[in-house]
Amino acid sequence: MHSVQEAEEIIFNLIEPFNHQTDTETVDLLNANGRILAAPIISQLDFPHWDNSAMDGFALRYCDLSEYVEGKGIFLEIVEEIPAGYQPQSTIQSGQAARIFTGAVMPSGADTVVMQENTRREGNRVFITAKPKPEEFVRKRASYYQAGEELLSAGIILKPTEIAVLAAAQCTQVEVFRRPRVAILSTGNELITPEQILKPGQIVDSNQYALSALIKEMGAEPLILGIIPDEATVLKKAISHAIANADIVISSGGVSVGEYDYVEKIIKSLGGKIHVSSIAVKPGKPLTVAKFSHFSNHILNCMYFGLPGNPVSALVTFWRFVQPGIKKLSGIKDNWQPEFLQVITSQDLRSNGKRETYLWGELILKDEIYQFQLAGGSHSSGNLINITGINALACLPVGKSLISAGEKVKVLQIS
Ligand code: AMP
Ligand code: MG
């Protein structure tokens, strides 16, 4: 049995991120939100593209104000009006100024803008009533970004702010990593679909639905393979199909030590290498992780996660080990690892101290400080009723059997 730290090191080291050449596709900018940039963006445009005014006011030569006396002011002649989007025609000479508006291009010769509020216009002359600072209210060309430098780096997630920058840089087609393909299958003779009539002893397959929603939420593509009975030949066929058609396979059930738990044997018989078969974690001890590097004469790079069948165990192991693995595979450069926060718990948190224990609940804001509120009801791995509304897992390390209300606890935020 591996500790959580050992298991996560093994698992995350096994995952090779997508290839920058072969695992990419091009998308329109309007469809790029949430996608991961596969190649750096280098723009040939400077930002700002040209010196421009940050204010409505008058563009002038700072040196013309050397005669300026406080309380007396100074007159300049207005030689041009420059609205935004217009190319200035004149060069500002000594004693001259141009009427200018926010965002408009600075005329040559001028180096400073005096804001409108510090001026008074009299016909074709402007009276300056307060002296600006040198180069005030001029946004200098390339002061934000210089053409040819890296504008956005590969491996970032494109969000609305990056989309705005790409649009400004006139990148309307973006090279992103393809979406990971994730096969999902549920194993168990007792399972039925939500549409079937429930007979005594049967269980509705909720894992397939939860996992498929999680995969879609991550921007990956689920390949839903349905319920597979605990029969070695049928299961072997289903797993063969899954590994041949997906980057990641997630099964649930069939990884414990019972007579009907075939998953590990089948993985081995298909040439998969088991790297983890149990972890000192609660819930989720039987999590099984394998890698397929080849299958029927083909080179593969397929990770297999055999999650425990209990709905909460399946979810906890997904959040803790599978989700970061999929993020790493998908090409995200930074922050694909699970991120923990330190918060105060509002209830006592208990475990038997033998395995790293995860308790589910809610991060709530109280007096502007986040607190962890334990979900009410049974914290049994088979109880999926009290997992509704949760957004966090509190982590009790091995050896810690109690974290008292008011103390700090490490919490994993979940979607
Ligand atoms: P197993 O890991 O196959 O021993 O299953 C453990 C428990 O989880 C059993 O009570 C199963 O009936 C239940 N279970 C297994 N798979 C699912 C599933 N897909 N959806 C809901 N419950 C499941
Ligand atoms: Mg089972």
Res 297: pLDDT: 85
Count, in order, helices (H) and strands (E) of the chain.
Answer: 7, 28
Condensed to tens digits (0 to 9), the pLDDT of residues 318-337 reads 999 999 999 999 999 999 99
**Mean pLDDT computed over 298-324:** 96
- Ligand 1 pocket, residue 189 CB under 6 Å: no
Res 308: pLDDT: 96
Q: Token pair 């600072």 is at which residue?
A: 133
Minimal CA–CA distance to 246: which of 185, 321, 332? 185
How many angstroms does the Cα of residue 383 sit away from the middle of ligand 2?
Answer: 16
Res 415: pLDDT: 78
Res 333: pLDDT: 96
Q: Say how far apart CA 247 and CA 237 lie, in whole Å.
A: 17
- Ligand 1 pocket, residue 309 CB under 6 Å: yes
Q: Say how far apart CA 168 and CA 170 lie, in whole Å.
A: 5
Residue nearest to atom 14 of ligand 1 (CA): 309
Res 226: pLDDT: 98
Let me know: does 107 contact 76? Beta carbons within 8 Å: no
Cβ neighbours, 10 Å, residue 36 = 23
- Ligand 1 pocket, residue 191 CB under 6 Å: yes
pTM for the structure as a whole = 0.93
**Mean pLDDT computed over 12-38:** 98
Let me know: does 108 contact 60? Beta carbons within 8 Å: no
Residue nearest to atom 16 of ligand 1 (CA): 309
Let me know: does 295 contact 271? Beta carbons within 8 Å: yes
Residue 67 is which amino acid? Answer: E
Pairing of strands 96-100, 150-152: unpaired
Which atom of ligand 1 is the closest one to the Cα of 254? 3
Ligand 1: which of 202, 251, 285, 310 to mutate, most ligand atoms within 8 Å of CB? 310
Non-local CB neighbours of 117 within 8 Å, separated by 6+ positions = none
Condensed to tens digits (0 to 9), the pLDDT of residues 279-290 reads 999 999 999 999
Condensed to tens digits (0 to 9), the pLDDT of residues 136-146 reads 999 999 999 99
How many angstroms does the Cα of residue 194 sit away from the middle of ligand 2?
Answer: 17
**Mean pLDDT computed over 334-352:** 96
Non-local CB neighbours of 77 within 8 Å, separated by 6+ positions = 95, 96, 97, 124, 125
Let me know: does 308 contact 284? Beta carbons within 8 Å: yes
**Mean pLDDT computed over 246-250:** 98
- Ligand 1 pocket, residue 253 CB under 6 Å: yes
Report the DSSP beta bridge partners of residue 74. 128
> In terms of pLDDT, which residue wins out, 73 or 229?
229
- Ligand 1 pocket, residue 252 CB under 6 Å: yes
Let me know: does 207 contact 311? Beta carbons within 8 Å: yes
Residue 193 has pLDDT above 90, yes or no: yes
Q: Which helix (H) or strand (E) holds 265?
A: helix 263-269
Let me know: does 169 contact 37? Beta carbons within 8 Å: no
Let me know: does 345 contact 406? Beta carbons within 8 Å: yes
Res 257: pLDDT: 81
- Ligand 1 pocket, residue 230 CB under 6 Å: no
Residue nearest to atom 17 of ligand 1 (CA): 309
Looking at every residue in the chain, the average pLDDT score rounds to: 96
Non-local CB neighbours of 415 within 8 Å, separated by 6+ positions = 214, 217, 391
**Mean pLDDT computed over 214-231:** 97
Condensed to tens digits (0 to 9), the pLDDT of residues 386-407 reads 999 999 999 999 999 999 999 9
pLDDT band at 240 (very low <50, low <70, confident <90, very high): very high
Per cent of the chain over pLDDT 90 is 93
Condensed to tens digits (0 to 9), the pLDDT of residues 61-110 reads 999 999 898 888 899 999 999 999 999 999 999 999 999 999 999 999 99
